[in-house]
Structure 1
Amino acid sequence: MFYNGDHISLAFSLLILPALRVMMSPKTVTEGRSVTLTCSTTCSLGNSTTYIWYKNGLPVSTTHTPDNTFSINKIRVTDEGRYSCAVTGHDDHPSDFVILSVRYAPRNTTALLSLYINEGTSVAVICSKDAPALLSLSIKEHTSVTLTCSSDAKPSVRHYSWYKKIGAKSSLMVFGQNYSITDAKVADSGQYYCKAENIVGVTESSTLPLNVYKVTTGLRSAVLVPAIIVVAIAVSFVCWWRRTAERASGVHSQGPDATSLWHMHSSESQSKII
């Protein structure tokens, strides 16, 4: 039996295309590291065979290379995708794809503080490496606050922890994504920050300054009561002065007042009796 060129090409395609596959080394890829993809086949191909690589169905480059490997140095998250390969002359029949997923340590770790005022109002203050540092957050004693840590990581964060920093010393407060202070005291003042950790690494947020001040109601009363007394005396003095001025003005402009008339009437009566 004889075959023409088309039959030979078809037979060659059927022979090698199902055998193409992509192998990835290492199988687990971490951001900043290197990875190598290899287009392999169980068939023996000639030395003149060239290859082309695809990412998400689109050619990585239009150049066919004699090397059946494709390497990425200092890999980034943007390099993630589905990679496949094909041999020259059969570009429209690529191999099955392999998924390249990039792991990275926690980043954009953020400390979120929710402040709950007695009246029920909630205020949120965010402090992160990408935002301007918060100079100070002052709250009254006995106020309730909740600190929440969030982070972007792959794989997901497996451990959160909260720390309080006073001067150069840091103290672990609690393990967990949230840290609540239900009845704030002056001793709770300090710099707070959180850490996020996965199997790749660990990062920490910027510090979130918290100042708890004490309201001394006794001192306020001691100052307020005398002030009220002084104001009352001043008002009384002003009213007395105005009444006195009005009476003096009435004597000169409107004739004798009721008191003067009474004295005059009394004098006249006594004269008549005499």
Structure 2
Amino acid sequence: MTSEISRCSFVVGVALMSVRMAPPLPLIFLLMIHGVSSAGWGVSYSPSHICALKDSSVIMNCTYTYPTGYKIENVFWIKCPIKDFPDLSEDPEYSQRLQYLGDKQQNCTIRLSHVTLKDSHEYYFRFITNITEGRWIGRPGVTLTVTDLQVESPERVTEGDSVRLTCKSSCTLTDRATFIWYRNSHPLTERRDRNNELLLQSVRREDAGRYSCAVHGHNHISPAVQLNVMYPPESVSVSISPSGEIVSGASVTLICSSDSNPPAEIYWYKGRTFVGSGRIFSISKISSDDSGEYKSRSINEHGEKYSDVTLNVMYPPRSVSVLVNGSGEIVSGDSVTLICSSDSNPPALNFSWFKENESSAVGSGQSFSALQSGRFYCQAHNQHGSQRSDAVTVTVKDPPESVSVSISPSGEIVSGDSVTLICSSDSNPPAEISWFKGRTFVGSGRIFSISKISSDDSGEYTCRSINDHGEKYSDVTLNVMYPPRNVSVLINGSGEIVSGDSVTLICSSDSNPPALNFSWFKENESSAVGSGQSFSALQSGRFYCQAHNQHGSQRSDAVTVTVKVIDSVFSFNGKDESVQTSS
């Protein structure tokens, strides 16, 4: 528009220059060219500037005057005051839209319909009288600016924010405008006012959509602008496909639905373990191991939300087994209870019992009482199938009886010998044999051997004979014989005596049987100086004892006895001398 108007002004300027350079014309013509009212000549526009909405109709109010005595022969509107002054009513772009509402007296008003942005120009009214010099152009003209509407809005808002949308035009509309707002092409009837702004306080997700605006009474609607309301995930739910009972081997799909903006990212967890991502989580050939609680996590930058679902996978009995309430071995006349267990979903309620190599069932129910020997198995059933267990053996048995222990070799046991204890037991099945010395476990098996037996091995030994039906004990005592050891001499006093007194020495030893024979010796003398467990020493010297039993003997270390002599008289070289000495 600006360039067109400028272009028109430039042309007018050129035309005026041409006029000034031309030979003098009558004064009245020059005044007409300049559009200046003179001597009753003039054109008036009201208003002189019009801002019109695209596709609307514009009324350019216009009046004109001229001196008395002139007769109007032609009136028309032009866009640019240039040579030949083309009549807009003859312009193909205007001829169908321009309507002259005036007359040939004073009124020069026109209506321009369905205005477009290209119609933005300065327009002039021109009239021609019956006198050659009586021509007039109303300058300055009326300026028409055609505008469209644009919605100005933030691209992204968060739920709860306050949002202001503005319906903007390039100029201020001349007519007093009442604005209408549309969301998704539907009018917001509650939002019709003279304010070109739409205020959404505490915006909701339902307010999202394509917004456009218009002016009441006009057809033109602005291009729609998308208002994108961001909000965290809501209404999160998980559906299972196919719905209904889930049977092992089927393919199952979990679908997470979530309402959020922007769209949430979906993550899947089984318990606390991450198992996948995306809106759809599929399990092909599902198994009982896939049973459990699944959780979908729906998250975007505004928040997160979870939804849980439980998969309960149905499957026929498996891992069917027989539990024997006891050992499976019973004492004659008793019974053993067999219990059938299975892993199935739903739990098996029907059970059948069979004896191996027999075609007919021998019982029903989850438990069965077996009264005889044989191999038995059960078969578990639910609506998805059945499975049989492995067979278990039931045996009629006896607890241990007639338990006894024998010692080999028999007779007296002497330290250093090899001794064998043998436990005999009558039981079915054969009993397990355990050996104890006192309460201490020392071995297992029917035979318990001790090589190079010592006195430490003496004591009471117990044979425990046990099987699944009972236990019994038998005891035996080992008494190990050994020669004297740890032989020592105890001095009854200090070991120092006065001449004429004596000191008692006592011989002690460890032996089995106890030593009864004792011999006393003075060191470095071969002959015994005494016998018995005690000995009275009357003289100085080093003495030891030797203890004896039927298995051997051992001597002690020597001890020292000292005799002190006071004021004794001795003869040396025929002379008597009194001395104090010890011997």
**How would you bin the TM-score normalised by the shorter chain?**
0.5 to 0.7
Given candidates 160, 164, 168, the residue that maps to 1:40 is 168
**1:5-20 equivalences in 2 (<5 Å):** 6-8=59-61, 15=144, 18-20=147-149
CA 149–20 in structure 1, closer or farther in 2 if over 3 Å, else same: same
**Secondary structure at 2:312's aligned position in 1?**
strand
State yes or no: 1:193 paired with 2:295.
yes
**Secondary structure at 1:217's aligned position in 2?**
strand
**Secondary structure at 2:151's aligned position in 1?**
strand
The amino acid of 1:202's aligned partner reads: E
Given candidates 215, 233, 237, the residue that maps to 2:318 is 215
**1:220-235 equivalences in 2 (<5 Å):** 223-225=352-354, 228-229=361-362
State yes or no: 1:160 paired with 2:279.
no
Q: If the length of structure 1 is used for normalisation, what is the TM-score?
A: 0.54
Distance 1:201 1:96 in 2: 33
Given candidates 202, 206, 211, the residue that maps to 1:74 is 202
Given candidates 188, 191, 194, the residue that maps to 1:60 is 188
Deviation at 1:161, TM superposition (A): 1.6
**Secondary structure at 2:274's aligned position in 1?**
strand
**Secondary structure at 1:124's aligned position in 2?**
coil
Gapped regions of structure 1 (runs ≥ 5) = 115-122, 126-136, 232-274
Q: Is the 8 A contact 2:166 2:197 kept in 1?
A: yes
Q: Which residue of 1 aligns with 2:274?
A: 172
Given candidates 92, 110, 118, the residue that maps to 2:237 is 110
**1:263-274 equivalences in 2 (<5 Å):** none
CA 230–42 in structure 1, closer or farther in 2 if over 3 Å, else same: closer
**Secondary structure at 2:276's aligned position in 1?**
strand
Q: Which has the larger strand fraction?
A: 2
The amino acid of 2:218's aligned partner reads: D
Deviation at 1:17, TM superposition (A): 5.1
The amino acid of 1:7's aligned partner reads: M
Deviation at 1:208, TM superposition (A): 1.8
CA 16–204 in structure 1, closer or farther in 2 if over 3 Å, else same: farther
Deviation at 1:76, TM superposition (A): 3.7
Distance 1:209 1:57 in 2: 45
Q: Is the 8 A contact 1:53 1:86 kept in 2?
A: yes
State yes or no: 1:100 paired with 2:224.
no
**Secondary structure at 1:197's aligned position in 2?**
strand
Gapped regions of structure 2 (runs ≥ 5) = 1-42, 48-58, 62-109, 117-143, 323-339, 342-350, 365-583
CA 147–84 in structure 1, closer or farther in 2 if over 3 Å, else same: closer
Q: Is the 8 A contact 1:153 1:198 kept in 2?
A: no
Deviation at 1:104, TM superposition (A): 4.4
Q: Is the 8 A contact 1:189 1:212 kept in 2?
A: no
Deviation at 1:195, TM superposition (A): 1.8
Distance 2:239 2:212 in 1: 43
CA 109–154 in structure 1, closer or farther in 2 if over 3 Å, else same: closer
Q: For 1:223-256, what per-residue CA distance to the aligned partner results, in whole angstroms no more than 9, with x for missing partners?
A: 521571359xxxxxxxxxxxxxxxxxxxxxxxxx
Q: Which has the larger helix fraction?
A: 1
CA 179–206 in structure 1, closer or farther in 2 if over 3 Å, else same: same
Given candidates 149, 155, 177, the residue that maps to 2:255 is 149
Deviation at 1:179, TM superposition (A): 4.4
Distance 2:308 2:45 in 1: 73
Q: For 1:55-92, what per-residue CA distance to the aligned partner results, in whole angstroms no more than 9, with x for missing partners?
A: 3445423774342210123334443444322346x533
**Structure 1 vs Structure 2: percent identity of aligned residues?**
27
CA 82–138 in structure 1, closer or farther in 2 if over 3 Å, else same: closer
Distance 2:190 2:240 in 1: 52
Runs of 4+ in 1 over 6 A off after TM superposition: 211-214
**Secondary structure at 1:85's aligned position in 2?**
strand
The amino acid of 2:170's aligned partner reads: T
Distance 1:207 1:92 in 2: 53
Deviation at 1:151, TM superposition (A): 1.6
Q: Is the 8 A contact 1:37 1:70 kept in 2?
A: yes
Deviates more, 1:94-103 or 1:221-230: 221-230
The amino acid of 1:124's aligned partner reads: S
